[in-house]
Amino acid sequence: MKLALIGFGQAGGKVVDAFCAFDETIGGHVVEAAIAVNTATADLRGLEHVTPENRVLIGQSRVKGHGVGADNELGAEVAAADVDEIQTAIDRVPVHDLDAFLIVAGLGGGTGSGGAPVLATHLKRIYNEPVYGLGILPGTDEGGIYTLNAARSFRTFTREVDSLVVFDNDAWRQTGESVESGFERSNRELVERVGRLFAAGEVSSGDHVAESVVDASEIINTLENGIATIGYATQSVDSNTSGILERVSRTSSSTHFGTEHEATNRITSLVRKATLGRLTLPCSVASADKGLVVATGPPDELSRKGIERGRTWLEEETGSMEIRGGDYPRPGADEVGAIVLLSGVTDVPRIEQLQSVAVETKETTSAIRAEQAGDLESLLDTSGELDALF
């Protein structure tokens, strides 16, 4: 399906940039427009795939292009004040070709954390197309202020979008990695999942169209409310071998049975792996309200029976009757994959932990501020011996 991507803040811009690069690599044709919004000039300058006219600097009169320094209330204020500048860039997007907007932001900082929910409210007011969010949670070691920002933004962003796909930096961190290379790798993992999911609903007329190909409306119907998470698993197949097997299968029914059986089992097992492996936001799968199973790979590997079995298995795991399934054929691909989208998830330990640390941070910060005000007053107190100048 066709998306207008809007990256808000540094993380948002970088992820949109990586998304565009990935979309080009796989020929996904998902990105109809890519816009980056920031309060920091330097962050916008670093982007490669967002055209200069689609880089929108906001809040110049307040922060002079230096960012909002993790103050997300200021981020929200600046976004509300300059929303017309963002709209000018969106006005250039051919909205009639769009299936949805996707606003991407790191929720721990200031600009994206505060600005993304403001933009979501604005877009919902103007357009009929769904507005999705892609929110990145900070690592637990980033400190109280990032956690507090993320918890407050998460609450607001979830309320303002049609669905918030969440990526937890904490769950995707690897030991021994520098922050920068860690982000680069996480961003690749993130855009691979989100990019392939949306590309599945964008099979163009020239592509091989399978019988049960996923349609944009199935993604839209799955992403109807609340919080969403994505799982992905792949297995290599030798495209030459699969071609040979297909040729052999035409002449030998037992080989045909063997190959089909293998393809069915492969897809079913990949659906399980994608669901039970690392999700973009780890959660209890049973709490999902809706789901979508997409099998991707060379057309002759996409067993309908496998998809159906995977779909039924996910129905049992979630207890939901709204699990959709389909395929995304990629002729010539050398691997088969399963993408699992779970939406409306409600049992998410990481969110509960984020919220309780945020509440603690808020209480501690207020106590420190009150104490500091008292301490300063007593430091300046000269028992009436000295007067202030004015």
Ligand X SMILES: Nc1nc2c(ncn2[C@@H]2O[C@H](COP(=O)(O)OP(=O)(O)OP(=O)(O)O)[C@@H](O)[C@H]2O)c(=O)[nH]1
Per CB under 6 A, the list member of 30, 36, 68, 230 interacting with ligand X is 68
Binding site members: 10-14, 110-112, 142, 169, 187
Binding site members for GTP: 10-14, 110-112, 142, 169, 187
Q: Please report which helix (H) or strand (E) contains residue 103, including its range.
A: strand 100-106
CB of 43 to ligand X, least distance (A): 6
Residue type, 160: E
Which residues in the 158-197 window bind ligand X by CB under 6 A?
Answer: 169, 183, 186-187
Contacting range for ligand X; rule: CB under 6 A; set: 21-29, 80-88, 104-112, 246-254: 104-112
Separation CA 142–CA 257 (nearest Å): 53
Give the contact letters, 1-20, x = binds to ligand X (CB under 6 A), - = no: --------xxx--x------
Per CB under 6 A, the list member of 28, 110, 298, 326 interacting with ligand X is 110
**Which strands sit side by side in the sheet containing 31-38, from one edge to the other?**
55-57, 31-38, 3-8, 100-106, 131-137, 163-168, 227-236, 335-343, 290-297, 323-329
Contacting range for ligand X; rule: CB under 6 A; set: 37-45, 199-207, 333-341, 381-389: 37-45
- Give the number of residues in contact with ligand X, rule: CB under 6 A: 27
Cβ atoms of 148 and 362 closer than 8 Å: yes
Contacting range for ligand X; rule: CB under 6 A; set: 108-116, 275-283, 284-292, 293-301: 108-116
Nearer to ligand X, 360 or 381 (CB): 360
Q: What single DSSP character describes residue 40?
A: B
Nearer to ligand X, 7 or 310 (CB): 7
Per CB under 6 A, the list member of 29, 65, 69, 355 interacting with ligand X is 69
Which residues in the 135-154 window bind ligand X by CB under 6 A?
Answer: 136, 138-139, 142, 146
| Cα separation values, 258 from 56, 101, 252, 255, 310, Å | 56, 44, 10, 5, 19
Q: What is the dihedral of CA 179, 184, 187, 193, to 10 degrees?
A: -130
Nearer to ligand X, 147 or 303 (CB): 147
Cβ atoms of 154 and 218 closer than 8 Å: no
Separation CA 225–CA 164 (nearest Å): 8
Separation CA 46–CA 43 (nearest Å): 5
Q: What is the CA radius of gyration of the chain?
A: 24
Q: Is residue 108 a contact point for ligand X (CB under 6 A)? A: yes
Per CB under 6 A, the list member of 70, 86, 119, 219 interacting with ligand X is 70
CA proximity to 276, closest of 306, 308, 310, 303? 310
* Residue whose tokens read 């100048």: 389
CB of 272 to ligand X, least distance (A): 26
Nearer to ligand X, 38 or 343 (CB): 38
CB of 132 to ligand X, least distance (A): 17
Instruction: By CB under 6 A, name the binding residues for ligand X.
Output: 9-11, 14, 39-40, 43, 67-70, 106, 108-113, 136, 138-139, 142, 146, 169, 183, 186-187
